[in-house]
């Protein structure tokens, strides 16, 4: 093998490390991915009949307050001025999210000032004051009061987890943000936008360097491939961004994930819902939300008589499903600690670094994956490459 580094996984974590090592250290980097495309979960593709860009693994909105990450991202793409806003349909009525003064006044048919609204929610949350809620349902009531919790959180959470919130641990939520202003911008970050030419162009530019070779449809655990775990680890430094439990053959147990199912449809209307994301909070609607992808890029010249919508359904992942969100039960956290010990030993003995959302069993936003990769490049890799 004539590579100085093998990177397993071409998501933001893997590509950031690969790009830095190739450009800054002049290393020859081989990136493999088991999927037929680069980009990990941020990958997008144009729906062929409309040309509308669809994020294939769920909607991806870029936002960060970390200047270093923003500057790094801007080397590969310009960003639009898109600002994310979400609405939710509850009992046949549409409200702005996250819960804000507009939501509260609409819901209670009132014109409360910020102080009046705050006093009302404090009073309603007082129903369970002084108790120590053990389940998510009681915790939700204690945080924002029963009326808002039952309308906006209860059914949505039940669908996300396919479990009655009374049977979910309180620890899943620590806070439910309520804003006492009319600000319904979803993110509070300094920088926000969508890549002007789409995610895939951005990700492909990161990999576009003479020292980087990308091999797709190549699974690290497929022993029939020349580049596989047995052939590579210990021989060449490796950055591994696949699932940590899979790497160790599930020796400490399987870590739980939630997955999503997407139902995509092209409709013969120019505009289906007037906004990119509509949540559905009622538990008798089976999906959690509908994305209408044209609205992420109002600046583009998309067809005016057709649109693409994607309904999203949430459920627990089986082995073989795409892992999306860590479930993080107490048993998962214990298993993760045992995996971390194995990871440390493996890094020390065999020059392999684990990273990214799958390699660390952590939900990471894109900017966090990029930031973590830049830190790994600065702090961890020098020892591994020595
Ligand atoms: P990522 O999963 O992207 O890449 C890992 C790669 O490793 C994959 O390409 C996989 O195929 C490959 N791989 C795994 N096992 C392998 C093996 N055995 N052999 C070879 N390759 C293997 N973030 C954000 O900032 N804004 C947002 O709006 C969203 N939205 C969002 C929606 C949904 C539904 C999810 C699940 C996630 C988001 N994210 C997000 C988070 C975003 O997707 C995340 O930050 C990046 O995917 C993290 O990049 P990684 O490189 O860590 O993993």
Q: What is the mean pLDDT of residues 287-307?
A: 98
* 306 falls within a domain: no
Residues 112 and 230 in one domain: no
pLDDT at 191: 98
* 273 falls within a domain: no
- Which of 174, 204, 229 delimits the end of a domain? 174
Q: Using 50, 70 and 90 to split pLDDT, how confident is the model at 186?
A: very high
Residue 328 pLDDT > 90, yes or no?
Answer: no
Peptide bond into 292 cis (omega under 30): no
Residues 21 and 73 in one domain: yes
Residue 130 pLDDT > 90, yes or no?
Answer: no
Q: pLDDT tens digits, residue range 114-125?
A: 999 999 999 999
Residue 326 pLDDT > 80, yes or no?
Answer: yes
Residues 346 and 241 in one domain: yes
Residues 246 and 379 in one domain: yes
Residue 175: active-site member: yes
* 113 falls within a domain: yes
* 302 falls within a domain: no
Residues 113 and 168 in one domain: yes
Calculate the average pLDDT of the chain. Answer: 96
- What is the model's pTM? 0.96
Report the alpha-carbon distance of residue 310 to residue 385 in Å, rounded.
44
Residue 1 pLDDT > 80, yes or no?
Answer: no
Residues 243 and 342 in one domain: yes
Query: The domain that contains 229 carries what CATH number?
Result: 3.40.50.720
Q: Which residue has the higher pLDDT, 170 or 15?
A: 15
Shortest-distance atom of ligand 1 to CA 218: 20
Residues 228 and 338 in one domain: yes
CA of 178 to the centre of ligand 1 (A): 29
Residues 22 and 159 in one domain: no
Report the alpha-carbon distance of residue 217 to residue 32 in Å, rounded.
8
- Does residue 33 have its Cβ closer than 6 Å to ligand 1? yes
Residues 10 and 63 in one domain: yes
* 127 falls within a domain: yes
- Does residue 34 have its Cβ closer than 6 Å to ligand 1? yes
CA of 370 to the centre of ligand 1 (A): 11
Q: What is the mean pLDDT of residues 157-183?
A: 91
Residues 16 and 119 in one domain: no
Q: Which of these is catalytic: 312, 339, 351, 361?
A: 312
Q: Which two tokens stand for residue 378?
A: 């600065």
For 97, list phi and psi in degrees, rounded to 5. -120, 165
Of the candidates 327, 332, 375, 329, the residue with the CA atom closest to the CA atom of residue 355: 375
Residues 126 and 245 in one domain: no
Name every residue whose Cβ is closer than 8 Å to that of residue 334 and which is 6 or more positions away in sequence: none
**How many domains does the chain divide into?**
2
Q: Which of these is catalytic: 24, 91, 115, 175?
A: 175
* 223 falls within a domain: yes
Residues 104 and 170 in one domain: yes
Report the alpha-carbon distance of residue 97 to residue 183 in Å, rounded.
9
Residue 133 pLDDT > 80, yes or no?
Answer: yes
Q: pLDDT tens digits, residue range 359-374?
A: 999 999 999 999 999 9
- Which of 121, 143, 174 delimits the end of a domain? 174
* 304 falls within a domain: no
Residue 179: active-site member: yes
* 93 falls within a domain: no
Q: What is the 3-state secondary structure (H, E, C) of the chain?
A: CCCCEEEECCCHHHHHHHHHHHHHHCCCEEEECCCCCCCHHHCEEECCCCCCEEECCCCCCEEECCHHHHHHHHCCCCECCCCCCEEEEECCEEEEECCCHHHHHHHCCCCCCHHHHHHHHHHHHHHHCCCCCCEHHHHHHHHHCHHHHHHHHHHHHHHHHCCCHHHCEHHHCCCCCCCCCCCCCCCCCCEEECECCCHHHHHHHHHCCCCEEEECCCCCCCCCCCCCHHHHECCECEEECCCHHHHCCCCCCCCCEEEEEEEEEEECCCCCCCCCEEEECCCCCCCCEEEEHHHHCCCCCCCCCCEEEEEEEEEECCCCCCCCEECCCHHHHHHHHHHHHHHHHHHHHHCEEECHHHHHCCCCCHHHHHHHHHHHHHHHHHHHHC
pLDDT at 73: 98
Residue 137: domain span: 98-174
């Amino acid at each position: 093998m004539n590579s100085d580094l093998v990177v397993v996984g071409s998501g933001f974590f893997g590509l950031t490390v690969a790009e830095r090592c190739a450009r800054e250290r002049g290393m020859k980097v081989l990136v493999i991915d088991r999927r037929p495309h680069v980009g990990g979960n941020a990958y997008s593709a144009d729906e062929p009949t409309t040309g509308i860009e669809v994020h294939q693994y769920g909607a991806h909105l870029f936002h960060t307050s970390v200047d270093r990450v923003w500057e790094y991202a801007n080397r590969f793409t310009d960003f639009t001025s898109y600002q994310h806003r979400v609405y939710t349909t509850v009992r046949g009525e549409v409200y702005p999210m996250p819960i804000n003064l507009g939501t509260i006044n609409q819901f209670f048919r009132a014109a409360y000032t910020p102080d009046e609204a705050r006093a009302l929610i404090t009073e309603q949350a007082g129903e369970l004051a002084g108790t120590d809620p053990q389940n998510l349902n009681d915790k939700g009531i204690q945080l924002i009061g029963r009326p808002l919790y039952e309308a906006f959180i209860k059914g949505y959470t039940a669908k996300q987890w396919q479990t009655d919130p009374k049977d979910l641990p309180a620890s899943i939520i620590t806070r439910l943000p309520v804003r006492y202003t009319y600000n319904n911008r979803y993110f509070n970050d300094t920088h926000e936008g969508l890549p002007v030419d789409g995610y895939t162009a951005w990700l492909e530019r990161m990999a576009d360097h003479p020292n980087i070779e990308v091999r797709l449809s190549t699974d690290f655990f497929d022993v029939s491939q020349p580049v596989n775990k047995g052939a590579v680890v210990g021989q060449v430094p490796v950055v591994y961004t696949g699932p940590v439990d899979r790497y160790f053959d599930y020796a400490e147990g399987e870590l739980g994930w939630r997955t999503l199912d997407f139902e995509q449809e092209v409709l013969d209307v120019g505009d289906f819902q007037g906004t990119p994301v509509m949540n559905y909070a009622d538990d008798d609607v089976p999906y959690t939300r509908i994305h209408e992808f044209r609205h992420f890029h109002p600046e583009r010249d998309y067809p005016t008589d057709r649109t693409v919508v994607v309904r999203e359904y949430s459920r627990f992942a089986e082995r073989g499903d795409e892992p999306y969100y860590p479930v993080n039960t107490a048993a998962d956290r214990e298993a993760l600690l045992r995996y971390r010990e194995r990871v440390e030993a493996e890094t020390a003995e065999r020059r392999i670094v684990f990273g990214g959302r799958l390699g660390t069993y952590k939900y990471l936003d894109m900017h966090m994956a990029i930031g973590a990769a830049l830190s790994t490049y600065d702090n961890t890799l020098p020892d591994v490459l020595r």
